[in-house]
Structure 1
Amino acid sequence: MENKLRFPLLVWGFAVAVYIPTATAGDAIPAIYVFGDSTVDVGNNNFLRGNPASANFLPYGIDFPGKRPTGRFSNGYSGSDYLAMQLGFRQSPPAYLSLTDGRPAATGVNFASGGSGIFDSTNPNNSIPLSKQIRYFDSVSDSLKTRLGRKAAGNFISKSIFYFSTANNDMFQFLARSGVQNETQQDLFIEQLTHEFKIHLKSLYNRGGRKFLVSGTGPMGCIPIARLSVPGDGCVEYINNISRKFNRAMRIVLRDLSFRLHGFSYSFLDIYDFITLLTSKPQKFGSHHTFSGFKESIAACCGSGRLNAASDCTPNSTYCSDREKYLFWDRYHSTQAFSEVVTRAVFDGRKYASPIAIKELVPL
């Protein structure tokens, strides 16, 4: 059994969605801008050359309307879709690279890219790093200014939600390269990572963003591919530890930004504890369509070998028929049913969202 985990370009993160039953699209939240990795990518990687992580083939999308693969790393909807739906939109805003000249992006844009990270050095040349995603936002902002005028565009952007789901790949790459590190080395890495994230958030604030929704990372050491390295299929605790460190540090970063930047408002989603509970007692939870609970919280639905995690989900892979009973779709990513359950749970009050609930970002 190997002691050092190796991870490919695409890594799994816990995709989350937002449940805001009273919010509607329009003046309250005119648009959503999504940044991050495969947890919220809706197809940007389909347009990248080279060898990007991709999900533009069946059985990905088997439960998406029309049973078609779109580039989402899921059997159906992604977390950014649920966010958009609960805000009153039809689904996630479109992938930036899918937009054609002259096509409006009035309800927002999704810039996320599977395999990407906060650092430019995370999976370079095979994904769109966060810094480049932000540069893409500049072109969207310029288009808004042309169509609406500078003042109206500024007001539009300030009311919009800026949603982030990232850092998973940065941490996995650090651990894959360095192995198990001591606490001092991990702390230094997390300090550098969150400092870089802070720079990106501040740059979007300077571009007019005011409402920020930042997802923390879940227990990444409990995904199927991580469990392969542990006898008895247990979680990899040193991976979970670095995830907890990131979440604690990001709380501090966001609080500091809110003190220093006038009008900066945010909700940080610390989903770690709920997902730990869910994976320990999956039978107690069920999706909107399946109230009898999950039956499989360790193995992936699509793949092969032990835990269905010995290989990627491919067009030739077998996959489970009862997908709403599984937490994991492939060896990295969650099923849409899992995302739905996390959505309903973590947004019940302020227990997993701080310092304010998501609905408090939405003027009613």
Structure 2
Amino acid sequence: MKGAIFLLWVVVVGLVGAVTARRPVVPAMFVLGDSTLDVGNNNHLPGKDVPRANLPFYGIDFPGGAIATGRFSNGYNIADFVARQLGFERSPLAYLVLKSRNYLIPSALTRGVSYASAGAGILDSTNAGNNIPLSEQVRYFAETKTKMETAAGRDKVSRLLARSFFLVGVGSNDLFQSTATTQGDVIALYTTLISNYTAAITDLYGMGARKFGFISVPPLGCVPAVRVLNATGACNDAMNQVAMGFTATLKSALAGLAPKLTGLAYSLGDSFVALETTFSNPQAAGYENADTACCGSGRLGAEGGYCTRTSKLCANHDAYVYWDWIHSTQRAAELGAQALFNDGTAEVTTPISFGQLAREG
């Protein structure tokens, strides 16, 4: 999309969002995944090595007062913008936050719950001990469902879950930590990851989930943390190939799984395709910089690790794709969510868009 067509599309999306904000198109949203979706779970995990976004400058642009909310972003993350497209104000609150406030079930019945955890992987061994892995997030959902049924009855909960939107985004950390080097090793890794991933999906389906919006892994070789390892600052093509291969394998696995699970509907958003276009022509998407962290230090803003109160900030946060050495800015997350809901020629989802998925049934 270019020029007037792109601007018109953004306006239309905005108008649709404004309408749905008054009436959500699904009764609740349940979120499982990693730091791209985490809205504060890790703030409540013990351990000095747990990745947390609980200090400035995280949240510097968050509505209502520039506070660090546990999101690895300068403001909202993509879970928030998916939620807004569905008609909610923002992502449902984090599971551990809701438990601490004794508000888990009221939220689960009216808005949803986020189980996403920074550092989480499909495998329990990924960053073990410093996050809530996917398998445990599924177990937390199972516990939530049992309590929902106690409060509201099995039939009501069954109907609610069948119409709710399950947003899932995980896999990047598993690939980051992989030591696979040969083609055989990579294929074996894919096999293990997909086996665990589809098992989690099947478990959620068995508990009543029917609508799944999946976000694939992005071009991992292009994040500032990886680029900085290259003397030229170029993307790591080998890592990108692994990411692309995993997405292709997941796409095939979902196509094979869906017919076996009656009533399951899904949309797979290809983050790689969406961002690849951005990297090829950042200015067309409104960016000034697509390779450097807005908040960081050293070369590419990636030599100091996470964004901290002592980091150097870029002048225009919306002009950067990346907020810190790995995670996107609020603006990039917003455009990413819009792409997931786009039904037009620039569609990056398969077999349907997130918007079509939300309206199913």
Query: Does TM-score exceed 0.5, indicating one fold?
Result: yes
Residue equivalent to 2:6: none
- Structure 2 Cα separation of the partners of residues 363 and 98 of structure 1: 29
The answer for the alignment partner of 1:81 in structure 2 is 80
Decide which of 315, 318, 321 is 2:315's aligned counterpart: 321
Letter in structure 2 aligned against 1:34: V
Using the TM superposition, give the Cα deviation of residue 342 of structure 1 relative to its aligned residue in structure 2, in angstroms: 2.3
Secondary structure of 1:297's aligned partner: strand
State the secondary structure of the residue aligned to 1:362: helix
Could you give the per-residue CA deviations for residues 94-134 of structure 1, whole angstroms, max 9, x where no partner exists?
Answer: 00000122551120000000001000000111000011111
For residues 113 and 210 of structure 2, the distance between their equivalents in structure 1, rounded to whole angstroms, comes to 16
Correspondent of 2:118 among 99, 114, 120? 114
1:294 aligns with 2:295: no
SS in 2 for 1:114: coil
Q: What amino acid does structure 1 have at the position aligned with 2:87?
A: G
Distance 1:27 1:324 in 2: 27
1:144-165 alpha-carbon deviations (Å, 9 max, x no partner)? 2122211111010111011111
Q: Does the alignment pair 1:72 with 2:71?
A: yes
Residues 200-219 of structure 1 aligned to structure 2 (within 5 Å): 200-219=200-219
1:358 paired residue among 344, 349, 354: 354
Question: Deviation at 1:277?
Answer: 1.2
User: Counterpart in 1 of 2:327?
Assistant: 333
SS in 1 for 2:161: helix
Give the direction of change, closer, same or farther, for the CA distance of 1:27–1:77 in structure 2 (3 Å limit): closer
Partner of 1:7: none
| In structure 1, distance between residues paired with 2:263 and 2:20 | 21
1:231–1:109: structure 2 CA closer, same or farther, 3 Å change rule? same
The CA deviation string for residues 168-227 of structure 1, in whole angstroms up to 9 with x for no partner, is: 0000001xxx26x12121111111111110000000000110000111111110000101
Question: Which of the pair has the greater relative contact order for Cα pairs under 8 Å at 6+ separation?
Answer: 1
Partner of 2:259: 259
- Residues 77, 334 of structure 2: 8 Å contact kept: no
| Aligned-partner residue type, residue 205 of structure 2 | Y
Contact 2:38 2:116 in 1 (8 A): yes
Alignment partner, residue 139 of structure 2: 135
2:298 is aligned, of 296, 305, 330, to 305
Unpaired runs of 5+ residues, structure 2, are 1-12
Mapped to 2, the partners of 1:27 and 1:358 lie a distance apart of: 14
In structure 2, the CA distance between the partners of 1:69 and 1:34, relative to structure 1 (3 Å rule), is same
Name the aligned partner's letter for residue 138 of structure 1: A
Q: Could you tell me how far 1:276 is from its partner in structure 2?
A: 0.8
RMSD: 1.7
Distance 1:334 1:264 in 2: 30
- Tell me how far apart the structure 1 counterparts of residues 322 and 166 of structure 2 sit (CA, whole Å): 26
Say how many residue pairs are matched: 336
Deviation at 1:24, TM superposition (A): 5.8
Check whether the contact 1:274–1:346 (CA below 8 A) recurs between aligned residues.
no
Letter in 1 for 2:222: C
> Is the 1:23–1:362 contact (alpha carbons within 8 Å) kept by the matching residues of 2?
no
Q: Does 1:62 align with 2:60?
A: yes
- For residues 274 and 91 of structure 2, the distance between their equivalents in structure 1, rounded to whole angstroms, comes to 24
Q: Is the 8 A contact 2:282 2:289 kept in 1?
A: yes
Structure 1 runs not aligned, ≥5 long: 1-17, 286-292
> Match for residue 4 of structure 1?
none
Task: State whether structure 2 residue 226 is matched by structure 1 residue 232.
Answer: no
Report the alpha carbon displacement of residue 339 of structure 1 after superposing the two structures with TM: 1.3
Aligned equivalent of 1:151, options 150, 155, 159: 155
Find the aligned partners of 1:85 and 1:121 in 2 and give their Cα distance: 33
Give me the whole-angstrom Cα distance separating, in 1, the residues matched to 2:204 and 2:140: 12
SS at match of 1:135: helix
CA contact (8 A) 2:59 2:74 kept: yes
Runs ≥4 residues deviating over 3 A = 18-28
1:41 aligned to 2:58? no
**TM-score, length basis structure 1:** 0.89
Residue equivalent to 1:165:
169
Per the TM alignment, residue 321 of structure 1 is displaced from its structure 2 partner at its CA by 2.2
For 2:208, what is the secondary structure of its paired residue? coil
The answer as to whether partners of 2:92 and 2:112 remain within 8 angstroms in 1 is yes
Identity across the alignment (%): 38
Q: Which region of structure 1 is more displaced relative to structure 2, 135-144 or 301-310? A: 135-144
1:29–1:87 Cα contact (<8 Å) kept: yes
Check the 8 A contact 2:25/2:87 in 1, yes or no.
no
The equivalent residue for 2:96 is: 97
Distance change (3 Å), C-alpha of 1:296 and 1:245: same
Letter in 1 for 2:102: D
Structure 1 position 231, deviation (Å): 2.4
Bigger shift: residues 308-317 or 340-349? 340-349
- Distance (Å, rounded) in 2 between the aligned partners of 1:209 and 1:231: 46
- Report which stretch shifted further, 111-120 or 268-277: 268-277
Q: Relative to structure 1, is the Cα distance of residues 257 and 153 closer, same or farther in structure 2, using a 3 angstrom cutoff?
A: same
CA contact (8 A) 2:212 2:266 kept: yes
**1:289 maps to which residue?**
none
Normalized against structure 2, the TM-score is what? 0.89
